[in-house]
Amino acid sequence: MRSIVRFVLVKCGVIPKPNFVARIQRDHPTMEQLTPGRIVIVRDGRVEKWICFRCPGGCGEKIMLNMSPNKSPRWRIAVDWLRRPTIEPSILQVGGCRCHFWVKRGVIEWCADTGVTVRKGWA
């Protein structure tokens, strides 16, 4: 139902089309489970551990962001009722394509110092 509501809101121009939607699962996703546009939150019980997704910068590498409060660096994620994720702080891909971006309400916001040319479809 949420995906239908999100689709209608995008088609009506109420919200921008999200680059990412989130889902929760218990185990680390395989590369096959990490389809473009999908963020997986790895949760064990009530403890969120990892944010996993494919790099949108073109290299397609698996990005894994730590959510453990006992380790550094650490990221936070909030997911709204339309499953659009917001991740803080920004993500800097130091390997692969060297891109730098924010994810806000499912939309990628590229940083000025990103090391890639923004791919069509991710803008």
Q: Tokens at residue 45, please?
A: 């019980």
Say if strands 85-92 and 76-79 run parallel, antiparallel, or are unpaired: antiparallel
Pick the closest to residue 107 from 16, 13, 27, 34 (CA basis): 16
pLDDT in tens for each of the 123 residues of the chain?
Answer: 778 888 888 889 888 999 999 999 999 999 988 999 999 999 988 889 999 999 998 888 999 999 998 888 999 999 999 999 999 999 998 877 889 999 999 999 999 887 666 555 554
